């Protein structure tokens, strides 16, 4: 049985890809913090309902008619405009503090996913070790 086919590893892989894609979106937000008219974005959480029963293909969701198809293989979750409570006169609504919190959160969750992945690999190794 290939390792990649196990639902546990597939879910962790999707999760890690989601965190990587989110890191890109967050770094776009921070880089554009002083650009006039820039609106911060965030990624929607991947949906794991039913993933435990059997992994299905994860596809991009376009919620509006004007949405362009994403970059091939770039992310497995759709980008969503995040609501913000303050907009500067230049039309920029990036809160650097918020974004830094999100970056830290993203980093921690990613660390959790990679730790879980490593632990799962360890369990596999324990299972195949000779007694």
Partner 1 sequence: MEFTRSLSIAASGLRAQAGRMRVISENIANADSTADRPGADPYRRKVASFERRLDREMGADLVQLGRVKRDEGAFKTRLDPGHPAADAKGEVKLPNVNSTIEMMDMREAQRSYEANLNVVGATRRMLARTLDILRV
Note the residues at the interface with partner 1 (CB under 8 A).
Answer: 16-17, 19-21, 23-24, 26-28, 30-36, 38, 71, 74-75, 96, 99-100, 103-104, 106-107, 110-111, 114-115, 117-118, 121-122, 125
In this structure, the number of other CB atoms found within 10 A of the CB of residue 124 comes to 14
Closer CB to partner 1, 53 or 125, in the complex? 125
Helices (H) and strands (E) in the chain, counts: 2, 2
Closer CB to partner 1, 55 or 92, in the complex? 92
DSSP character string of 62-116: --STTPPPPPTTT-SS-EEEPP-S---TTS----HHHHHHHHHHHHHHHHHHHHH
Nearest-approach distance from CB 102 to partner 1, in angstroms: 10
Nearest-approach distance from CB 113 to partner 1, in angstroms: 9
Closer CB to partner 1, 55 or 77, in the complex? 77
């Amino acid at each position: 049985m290939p390792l990649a086919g196990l639902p546990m590893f597939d879910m962790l892989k999707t999760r890690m890809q989601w965190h990587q894609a989110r890191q890109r979106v967050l770094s776009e937000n921070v880089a554009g913090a002083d650009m006039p008219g820039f609106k911060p974005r965030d990624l929607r959480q991947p949906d794991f309902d039913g993933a435990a029963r059997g992994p299905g293909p994860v596809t991009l969701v376009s919620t509006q008619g004007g949405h362009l198809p994403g970059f091939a293989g770039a992310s497995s979750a759709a980008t969503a405009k995040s609501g913000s409570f303050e907009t500067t006169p230049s039309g920029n609504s990036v809160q650097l503090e918020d974004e830094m919190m999100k970056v830290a959160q993203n980093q921690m969750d990613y660390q959790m996913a990679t730790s879980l992945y490593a632990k799962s690999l360890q369990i596999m190794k324990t299972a195949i070790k000779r007694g």
